[in-house]
Structure formats: structure tokens, C-alpha cells
Amino acid sequence: MGLLSKKDTKLILDPLADNNPITIQVLGICSALAITAELKASIVMAISVLFVLGVGNVVISLMRNIIPSKIRIIVQLVVVAALVIIVDQVLKAFAYELSKTLSVFVGLIITNCIIMGRFEAFALGNGPWRSFLDGVGNAAGYGVILIIVGFFRELLGSGTLLGFKVLGDPIEKTGIYAIGYENNGFMLLSPMALIVVGIIIWVQRSKNKALIEDH
Amino acid sequence: MGLKRRLHILKRRYRGTKMAPAFNAIHTFLFLPDETTHSGTHIKVADDLKRTMNTVIMAMIPCLIFGMFNAGYQHHLALGEIEAVTQGFFSAEFWTLDNFMVGFWKILPLVIVSYGVGLGIEFIFAIIKGHEVEEGYLVTGMLVPLIVPVDIPLWMLAVAVIFGVVIGKEVFGGTGMNILNPALTIRAFLFFAYPTWMSGDKVWVHGAVERDQLIASGQNLDAISGETILGSLAQGKAAGYEIADMFLGFIPGSVGETSTLLILLGGLFLIFTKIGSWRIMLSSALGAIVMGLIFNGVVDSGIISEGSKFYGLMSTTWWHHLLIGGFAFGTVFMATDPVTAAQTNKGKWVYGFLVGFISILIRVFNPAYPEGVMLAILLMNVFAPTIDHYVVQGNVKRRKKRLKVKTA
């Protein structure tokens, strides 16, 4: 047996596609709309959530037998809050500009439904290793969508990727700007993030008909 | 062998295949279908969906032709090559072949791109979904070139049409299922995506943007511009046009929306043929008048000072609001869209009134979006089903009450 059993692999891979927290469960939409105007912010957000959810799931899983069920939400909140503060402080210390861009949304990871959802649905009933895998898988599923949305929004909205002018310079009129191309300002507005997420959901469900809900 | 015969044969050959909807669409657009019904009694009416759509297009043709003349006229006027019109609607300076040709060559590509891209998408979706092509794009395709600035780059228009038809209509299930008016979705997309091409004082006159670029590259030319009336008022400047010009349409603006007179004629035609709802048109005008009067009242009572940034638009005489900007065009041709408007008669009054009311509200309070009518109609499109719901529920309640009184 390898490092991961078949069941464990499923824990990681399922949330990436067929049980994606954003496109299938439609959780965590708020941050997907708010911070995906730049690819860099999306990536940092994805990593932050990966850390919070991975570690958080392990912590909750370790404590699952001693948490009284009546106050479990508060305990969960304390754990997330502690982890989010760590992330926030690290960002402020080492990537100040970026933490400005992400502003309040790092703090709002606390309210990200995916995190509480995984604590409730998985970590409270499973061992630490499996909880860790589940956390990593779900955070990665969230991060993948964030990065896809961020990629398209930054490319079409600002003509850059991670700050590099991949399409040419819009002011100097080089690259494809020379032939009259212009950036799509709508892409930088939040409604367009919703539409891009919607298109991803559309593409995903038309590829895999099993995902379409019956009415 | 005539075209009709050839199409019949093509249709038969492709029956049941993937491409069938495309041939059926071309065939039924040009000729009566050759199929007969096989069972039961059918009631046949002449004004099917295609006839309805074509009636609306006919109502817009005068606006289109006027738009072509106006595009050339504004171009030549800005260059100082001709004098401004003086003799009313039939001024010789306006109706020249020269004016028409300039506009014709600018606007024809807009029409072609709008129809080509839009119908192309309809065909593709029909083939993928395996249903017949829906005629929904016929009107949208004509509306789109009429509500954009004349110099809009064609690729932008194409992108916007793709967005509008796919996201505004097809994702909801195609013609008749859309929540938002597709033509306005296209315009809103352009407005938010490429604001430099949809607002300002250059884009409304053909050649002004190009002239700007030449000047920027070092050529010694005079800049030309043509601010719309709403644009000027939003900046606190005087309108700079006579009321007659506003009514007849000798003003800069989107291609087909300048002539209130011709829009009014189109509107009467729609009312006469019972295609457009007079309730919506009338109540929308009422809504705009009420809001205009409120603003005039605020100005008259001295609550707002002359230095305020809203003063210019607020002090505009209430009925001028009906003549400037896209208000008339939006009310007559887009608020009345039978799919996205309210369906009940009472609902139409509420819907129309709020369209007019909110149009003027946005116009005055958000100088960044002087064209409030676009946003107002889109907003009310979203609320139309809610309005209908309450009208229907109200009716149910009233009748239940009557029943109770009778049985009691």
C-alpha cells in the first residue's frame, strides 16, 4: 500500500472536481467574488485557506472527543480565528502590499462557509490524517476555482498575469493593443466574477451530466 | 429550380440530422413551411412570432435611416463643412446624399456584425440543443446598432453581442425565457467593459476619436467633439441645443435614439398594430414626468444651491427629460419587450411608471451614468415577475373575498 489508500485519494480528488466546494456546493462565493480581480491575490487566498483548513481540520479532529457538542461551534470559531490571525500577521509582515489588496477578506476567512462546513461535516467524525486530507482537498478545490477565475479576470480585465504585461502595453500600444484591442473593464467588477463562476459551473455540468440536479 | 424548391429539397435531405434546425430556420424565414399538420384542429393566426418581430423592425427603420443621415450630419457639422440646420425637419442641409453615405458606411457594418454574430450564436445553440432556431434575435439585432455610438469598434460590438445573447438569453433557455432584455444586456456590457467608447464627448460623432489620435501623434488639426445633451448637463453646462433640435433629432447621441419624433411615430405604429403596449409607454412617460416635476420642485423651493453638481440636471424643465437621451427610444422599443416586461395589465402600469421614475432618478443622481434609462429598464426587468406575482395574488384575494360575501 502506498502513502494514500484509494479512499484517501478520493478525499483529496473529489473536492477538486465532482464535489467542488464552489461549483457544486456553492460555498465560499463571497471571497471568490471579492478578491479574484488579480491572480496573485487569488493564489495567496488559496494558500491561506489551504493552511487554515488543513491545520484547522487536524486540530478539530484531535479535539473531537473532548469538545462538548453544545459549544462546538464556539470551539471551532476559536480555532479558525487563531489560525486566521496567524495568516493575517504573516501576510502583514512579509507581503504588506498584498495584505492591503486582500484587506478584510483574510479576516473573513473565519466566516468562509467551507471551513466551518468541513469542521462540522468531516473533522468532528474522522481521525486527524483523514481530516487533514479532506481539508487539503477541499481547500485545493476552492483554490483551483479561485485561480481559474483570477486568471481570466486579470488577463481580460487588466491584460496582465501576476502583474506581467502578457498582452502588451495598453498605453504604449504594443502587443495586441497595437491592433485596437482594449481591456475589458467589466472583468474587474465583481458581477463578472459571478458570471465566470457561473460559466465554470455550466461547463462542468455539461461535461458531467451526473452533476445536474433533478427538479 | 427556384430557391423555394431548393430549400425544400435541402430541408428534406437534412431532416433529422444535426444541421436540420439551420435549414428549417432559413426556410421558414423566407417562405411558408411546406409541412401540414397531421392531427387535431389547429387555429392559425397570421401574426406569428416572426410577423410580430418584423413589425417591430419596421417601426425602427425610420430611426435607422434618420440615424444614418444624422451620423453624417454630425460628422460634417463638427468638421465645420456644413451649416447647422435652420428650416425644421426638412432642412436641405440635413437630407443630403453626402450625409447619408457617411452614415450608411459606418452603420451598415454595425447592423451586419450585430445580425451576423447574434444569429450565428442562435444557430449554433439551436444545433447543439437540437431545437428549432428561435426568432428572438431579429428585433435585438436591429436594436443593438441603434443604441451604440456610431464609432464603436466592430470587435467590441461582436464580443458584447456574444455575451448578451449567451449570458443574457441562452443560459436562461433561449427566446421567451430571458429575464433581461438582451439588447440592453449588450449595451450594459459595452458600457461597463469599454466605458471610453460608450461615454464622453468624442464617441458620438464619427471621426472625433480618430481625429484625437491624429492630434496625439503630432498632426496639426483642430479637435472635434460632440457632447450629448445629457453629458453637458451632467457637467453643469447648458444643453446648447434648441428644443426643436432635440425633438427632431439633430443632436449627437447613439445611432438611432436621437429623433424623438420618429420614435414617437414608431411607437404609434406599434400601438396601432397592437404589438407594443401603450400602457407601458404611457406610464413610463408619466413616471418620468413625475420625477422631473419633483426635481423641478426641489430646485424651485431653493433646497438645492446652484453650485450643486446635481443642479444642471435637476433644473432641466420636466418635459425636456422626455426628449433628451435614450429615454424615448428605451421606453418605446425596449421597456415594451413582451418577454421581459410585466405581463399583467395592472403590472404594466406599475412597471412602466417605475421605469420612467427610476430613469430620471439615475440620470440626475449619478452623473457617471447619464443614461439612466438603460439601467432603469434592466432593473425593472428583474422586478417584473415580482410585480406580476403581486398583481395576480391581489386578484386572487379580491375574488376570494367576493366568493365569501356571496356564500355568507
Listing DSSP states for B328-361 in one string gives HHIIIIITT-TTTS--SHHHHHHHHHHHHHHHHH
Average pLDDT in chain B? 84
Q: Is-contact B130 B18, C-beta < 8 A?
A: yes
Grid cell of B4 as nine digits: 423555394
Q: Do A185 and B189 touch (CB under 8 A)?
A: no
pLDDT of residue B96: 84
Cβ neighbours of B155 in A, within 8 Å: 180-181
Q: Which of B167, B171, B194 sits opposite A182 (nearest CB)?
A: B194
pLDDT single digits (tens) B140-175:
999 999 999 888 889 999 999 999 999 988 888 888
Is A88 inside any structural domain? yes
Is A92 inside any structural domain? yes
Is A63 inside any structural domain? yes
Residue of A4 and B76 predicted with greater confidence:
B76
Query: Is pLDDT at A1 greater than 60 in this prediction?
Result: no
Residue of B257 and B354 predicted with greater confidence:
B354
Q: Do B193 and A186 touch (CB under 8 A)?
A: yes
Q: Do A186 and B167 touch (CB under 8 A)?
A: no
Cβ neighbours of A195 in B, within 8 Å: 167
A and B: number of Cβ contacts within 8 A: 23
Query: Is pLDDT at B114 greater than 80 in this prediction?
Result: yes
How close B189 gets to chain A, by Cα (Å)? Answer: 7
Question: What per-residue string of b and e applies to B327-361 under the rule 16 or more CB within 10 Å gives b?
Answer: bbbbbbbbbbbebbbbbbebbbbbbbbbbbbbbbb
The CA R_g of chain B, rounded to the nearest whole Å, is 23
Cβ of A187 under 8 Å from any chain B Cβ? yes
Interface test with B, best of A171, A177, A184 (most B CBs within 10 A): A184
Cβ neighbours of B156 in A, within 8 Å: 182
Q: What gap in Å lies between CA A215 and CA B178, rounded to an integer?
A: 19
- Across the range B277-291, mean pLDDT stands at 92
- Across the range B135-139, mean pLDDT stands at 82
Q: What gap in Å lies between CA B78 and CA B83, rounded to an integer?
A: 10
- Across the range A164-190, mean pLDDT stands at 81
Binning pLDDT at 50, 70 and 90, where does residue A106 land? Answer: confident
Residue of B151 and B307 predicted with greater confidence:
B151
pLDDT single digits (tens) A151-160:
999 999 888 8
Query: Is pLDDT at A90 greater than 50 in this prediction?
Result: yes
Closest to B260 (Cα-Cα) out of B357, B205, B337, B326:
B326
Indicate the number of domains in chain A. Answer: 1
Average pLDDT in chain A? 84
Cβ of B167 under 8 Å from any chain A Cβ? yes
Closest CA in chain B for residue A196: B167
3-state secondary structure of B89: helix
Binning pLDDT at 50, 70 and 90, where does residue B103 land? Answer: confident
- Across the range B18-38, mean pLDDT stands at 74
In terms of residue numbers, what domain contains A79? Answer: 35-205
Q: pTM to 2 decimals?
A: 0.87
Q: What gap in Å lies between CA A90 and CA B40, rounded to an integer?
A: 75
Tell which B residues from 192 to 211 touch A, by Cβ distance under 8 Å: 192-197
pLDDT of residue B1: 62
pLDDT of residue B186: 93
Q: Which of B192, B194, B197 sits opposite A189 (nearest CB)?
A: B192
pLDDT of residue A2: 57
Query: Is pLDDT at B266 greater than 80 in this prediction?
Result: yes
Backbone angles phi, psi at B93, to 5 degrees: -65, -25
Interface test with A, best of B152, B194, B213 (most A CBs within 10 A): B194
Is A189 inside any structural domain? yes
